Amino acid sequence: MMCNPANPKANGVIDIWQETLPVRFGAIDRSDKLTLGAMFQFFQEAAISHAENLGVGREEMTRTGQAWILSRMSVLAERRPEYCETITVRSWPKGSEKLFAIRNYDIRDKENIPVVSARSAWLIVDMEKRRPLRPQSVIDMIPLNEGQDIFLPEMQDAESKEQKTQSLTSLAERNNLQKVMERKALYTDIDYNGHVNNVRYIQWIEDALEPHLLENAGKIRFDINYLNEILAGESVEILSASVEDNSGGAPCKVYAFEGRKIETGQTAFRAEIRLSPRVANEAKMC
């Protein structure tokens, strides 16, 4: 069923949210392909609309002093859709793991073939105390979508925050992170919840890479852990390290990133991006 983001509750409860739309000019880079930041924007909007449809959206959560906060996300882009290509963005909840509510996504082409897959983990946070709550009362209200975990095997190593944090930390430690840029959280970075929006982190990381690396990338694997919120006016130093990885049979460059709040030294996020070069016959993701 096609969904209406302007009126999410128009057609009753929907298990899998989906929106069909063209890739517009503001969502592409110089290669004519969808950016990572735009992917995250599509996923964010689909998740928000679906939460509204399921009765656990912003209004309902605000009444109880709660909010959905994204904790981690893994994305695998088999290919990036191109300018003016018609795509379908889908999103659906997938139960819980300890304190985390799981939500899946994909982007499908006009042949209904998934070209981007993603998996996210969300916390339900008491906004006054800024502390996570157990999600079961909310999870019991929404569909479990059993059998809808359709990710490729490459996605399965993102099963827990602890595992992925260890992976990102070890890569950072091996390669001596170096400062590449600073960012201050300004007006356009801050969202309704009063902190830097999850999409902004992705755009900061994109800006910290050499543009040609993203423009020439074929398949992309991206993982991020959001560890501490960044508030308006706070400054962040972004550090990076890189390593060549041929372990998957195809050459790729792996970049680790860490954002540290300058005022406190707290780690705000850790991320890792794997870029395989674009070729005529796309090689297996490294």
pTM: 0.88
Same domain? 109 vs 208: no
Element (DSSP H or E) covering residue 258: strand 252-261
Q: Minimum mean pLDDT among 26-40, 57-71, 152-166, 243-257: which range?
A: 152-166
The number of beta carbons lying within 10 Å of the beta carbon of residue 100 is: 19
Same domain? 126 vs 16: yes
Same domain? 41 vs 111: yes
Phi, psi of 213 (to 5 degrees): -65, -45
pLDDT of residue 284: 45
Residues 69-79 have a mean pLDDT of: 95
pLDDT (tens digit per residue) in 249-286? 667 889 999 999 999 999 999 999 999 887 654 444 44
Same domain? 5 vs 112: yes
Domain residues for the domain of 240 are 160-286
Res 160 pLDDT > 60: no
Res 162 pLDDT > 50: no
195: amino acid identity, one letter: H
If you search the block for the tokens 């882009």, which residue do you land on?
77
Same domain? 189 vs 280: yes
Same domain? 78 vs 115: yes
Same domain? 95 vs 210: no
pLDDT of residue 148: 72
Q: Which one-letter DSSP state was computed for residue 134?
A: -
Q: How confident is the model at residue 175 (pLDDT cuts 50, 70, 90)?
A: low
Domain boundary among 101, 135, 155: 155
What is the CATH classification number for the domain harbouring 126?
3.10.129.10
pLDDT (tens digit per residue) in 75-112? 999 999 999 999 999 999 998 889 999 999 999 999 99
What is the domain count for the chain? Answer: 2
Same domain? 111 vs 67: yes
Beta carbons of 38 and 27 less than 8 angstroms apart:
yes
Same domain? 50 vs 76: yes
Q: Rounded CA gap, 255 and 223, in Å? A: 11
Beta carbons of 21 and 4 less than 8 angstroms apart:
no
Beta strands in 170-234 (DSSP E): 178-184, 217-226
